[in-house]
Amino acid sequence: MGQSQDYTALCVAERVDVPTGKAHYHLRHLERFRLGTSYPAVVERVGEMLAGPPLWGCSQLVVDGTGVGAPVVDMFRKKGLAPTAITITGGDTVTGEGGNYRVPKRYLVSTMQVLLQAGLLKVAEELPDATVLVQELLNFRVKIDPLTAHDSYGAWREGQHDDLVLATAVACWYGERQPGYGVW
């Protein structure tokens, strides 16, 4: 979730289960909201998308609940959208229950990376923000502090964004762990 300096990004990923192996993910919608878009406007837009085809009744809303995202998760819940909240951490353990998870960024990113490298994550070129996602992926790096061996993930230059990367990573991570939903 972002508003003034970072974008709020929306990713709709369809999980396609195939009988011969691992699930495939098709990105059906990517959207980076304009800077300055209010959180109530974001909640309204997502609610409208979830209320109609193809998402109604077969999707799960997964929201980045990190930082300012926590009150926005409350707004989604108040609207009756029952989101799963993912708080992105720097640790190495996934914890959570009851619709709230704490997930290390490395797990989110590595899940998406494996799916991309295996050809299991497909991005339709005709999506308006597909080129923005590709640019974000090209700018995304892991940095390892030589003194502490601590890893960090993000755009390699100041002023670059990684909002669509993280929205996609959250959807993929959740999809790999929560079978039963086709689109979210």
Residue-range definition of the domain harbouring residue 21: 9-177
- pLDDT, tens digit, 9 for 90 and up, residues 94-134: 998 888 999 998 899 889 989 999 999 999 889 989 988 88
Position 70 scores a pLDDT of 85
102 is a domain residue: yes
40 is a domain residue: yes
CA 9 vs CA 22, 34, 46, 158, 177: distances in Å: 26, 9, 11, 19, 21
Position 183 scores a pLDDT of 43
Q: What number of residues does the chain have?
A: 184
Secondary structure of residue 22 in the 3-state scheme: coil
Q: How many domains does the chain have?
A: 1
52 is a domain residue: yes
Position 102 scores a pLDDT of 94
- pLDDT, tens digit, 9 for 90 and up, residues 133-170: 888 888 865 655 566 545 555 554 455 568 899 999 99
3 is a domain residue: no
- pLDDT, tens digit, 9 for 90 and up, residues 9-67: 999 999 998 887 788 999 999 999 998 999 999 999 999 999 998 898 889 999 998 87
134 is a domain residue: yes
Closest CA to 1 of 57, 83, 118: 83
| Predicted TM-score (pTM) above 0.85 | no
Pairing mode of beta strands 100-104, 84-89 = parallel
Closest CA to 126 of 26, 48, 20, 43: 26
Residue 13 in contact with residue 127, Cβ under 8 Å?
A: no
C-alpha 34/C-alpha 6 separation (Å) is 9
2 is a domain residue: no
